[in-house]
């Protein structure tokens, strides 16, 4: 058992909050999280090591790069409601950036058998997802009549082209090589997505952990082409079932399972609120990205990220 010192919590809510105070030991950030040298700020927070004090204190705006952030809204229509549309997307992308930062680190921690910090990161991602779910409430104030004024100015741009969203999906295990070629014209983005496609997902690492902890996981689940979608496995389901049948025996794996279910739960809610908001605003018109629109998004509701963890509920 990895986390002998961790006391049991009586509910999932307890599990979420219990880890909030755990200290995260320093670890090299993954390469994909590091600011490329060309983009790093010349002074201020990004240029110093975490412990070294900044030479001169930055102002609030300098520290947050507010000039760049607040000058990044460029409405094209002259319509009052376009600002909402832009900021809704931009804030979502910022939260996705944080989610990616946490997910990559959580995956690396699981790989290193450091579950306590991984739990805290996963709990944070679930809260980010909930934040994004609630954000739809703001967008629902955009009526179909108002959206009609904006649509001609959007061209073929669409959330379908959100490379951060796609990377989150890849990290969670929804691998689809076709989604990489959407970004063929933007090499750094394409390369980053390709990398994420080929790397093990968070769930791949959870399954590898099950194997390290002695559960009989077939080799084809562990040593496989990670760019391909993973096939659900009876052996993985049996392993999770054993964990759920006796949570006290390996509480760490039990907690990991519940953190993952929490995450997928929140992600499903995001997808559901998206498709409902889209139907409310554009009905069954095709999307600006060229899909059938609502019917495409409804199909995405059937995607299951951690299938064995959901099946185990029926088995118990």
The answer to the question of residue 280 lying near ligand HEM (CB under 6 A) is no
Among 170, 288, 306, 307, binds ligand HEM (CB under 6 A): 288
Q: Is 290 in the site for ligand HEM (CB under 6 A)?
A: yes
Among residues 195, 289, 298, 310, which is the contact residue for ligand HEM, using CB under 6 A? 289
Q: How far is the CB of 215 from ligand HEM (least distance, A)?
A: 32
Residue 88 sits in the site that holds ligand HEM (CB under 6 A)? yes
Question: Could you tell me the smallest distance in angstroms from the CB atom of residue 80 to ligand HEM?
Answer: 15
DSSP letters for the chain: ---TTPPP-SSHHHHHHHGGGPPPPP-PPPGGGSPPGGGS-SSSGGGS-SSSPPSSPPPHHHHHTHHHHHT----SS--TTHHHHHHHHHHHHHHHHHHHHHHHHHHHHHHTT-HHHHHHHHHHHHHHHHHHHHHHHHHTTS-HHHHHHHHHHHTT--GGG-HHHHHHHHHHT---THHHHTTTT-HHHHHHHHHHHHSPPHHHHHHHHHHHTT----HHHHSS-TTSPPPP-HHHHHHHHHHHH-TTTTHHHHHHHHHHHHHHHHHHHHHHHHHHHHHHHHTTPPPTTSS-THHHHHHHTT--SSHHHHHHHHH-
Is 300 a binder of ligand HEM (CB under 6 A)? yes
Token representation of residue 63: 């520290």
Q: Which is nearer to ligand HEM, 186 or 249 (CB)?
A: 186
Q: Pattern of binders to ligand HEM over 126-165, x per CB under 6 A?
A: -------------x--x----x----------xxx-x--x
Site membership for ligand HEM, residue 44 (CB under 6 A)? no
CB of 264 to ligand HEM, least distance (A): 14
Is residue 91 part of the contact set for ligand HEM (CB under 6 A)?
no
Q: Which is nearer to ligand HEM, 116 or 150 (CB)?
A: 150
Question: Whose CA is closest to 282, among 269, 294, 298?
Answer: 294
Under rule CB under 6 A, which residues in 255-274 are in contact with ligand HEM? 274
Tell me how far, at minimum, the Cβ of 162 lies from ligand HEM, in Å. 4
Give whichever of 92 and 201 is closer to ligand HEM, judged by the CB atom.
92
Asked if 115 is part of the footprint of ligand HEM (rule: CB under 6 A), the reply reads no
Residues contributing to the site for ligand HEM (CB under 6 A): 88-89, 92, 139, 142, 147, 158-160, 162, 165, 274, 278, 281-282, 287-291, 293, 296-297, 300
């Amino acid at each position: 058992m990895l986390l002998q010192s961790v006391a049991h919590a009586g509910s999932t809510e307890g599990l979420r909050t219990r880890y909030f105070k755990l200290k995260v030991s320093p670890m090299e950030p993954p390469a994909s999280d590091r600011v490329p040298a060309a983009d790093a700020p010349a002074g201020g927070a990004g240029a110093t090591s975490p412990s070294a004090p900044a030479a001169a204190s930055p102002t609030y705006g300098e520290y947050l790069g507010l000039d760049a952030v607040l000058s990044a809204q460029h409405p094209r229509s002259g319509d009052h409601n376009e600002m909402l549309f832009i900021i809704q997307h931009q804030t979502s992308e910022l939260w996705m950036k944080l989610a990616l930062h946490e997910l990559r680190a959580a995956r690396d921690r699981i790989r290193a058998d450091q579950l306590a910090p991984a739990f805290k990161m996963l709990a944070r991602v679930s809260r980010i997802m909930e934040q994004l779910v609630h954000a739809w409430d703001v967008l629902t104030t955009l009526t179909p009549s108002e959206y009609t004024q904006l649509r001609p100015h959007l061209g073929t741009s669409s959330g379908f082209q959100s490379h951060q969203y796609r990377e989150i999906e890849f990290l969670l295990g929804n691998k689809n090589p076709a989604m990489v070629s959407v970004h063929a014209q933007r090499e750094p983005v394409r390369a980053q997505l390709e990398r994420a496609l080929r790397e093990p997902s968070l769930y791949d690492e959870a399954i590898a952990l099950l194997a390290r902890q002695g559960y009989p996981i077939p080799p084809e689940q562990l040593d496989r082409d990670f760019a391909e979608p993973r096939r659900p496995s009876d052996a993985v389901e049996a392993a999770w079932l054993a964990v759920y049948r006796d949570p006290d025996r390996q509480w760490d794996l039990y907690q990991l399972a519940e953190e993952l279910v929490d995450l997928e739960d929140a992600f499903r809610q995001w997808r559901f609120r998206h498709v409902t908001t889209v139907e409310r605003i554009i009905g069954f018109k095709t999307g600006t990205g060229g899909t059938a629109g609502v019917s495409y998004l409804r199909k995405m509701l059937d995607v299951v990220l951690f299938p064995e963890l959901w099946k185990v509920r029926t088995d118990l």
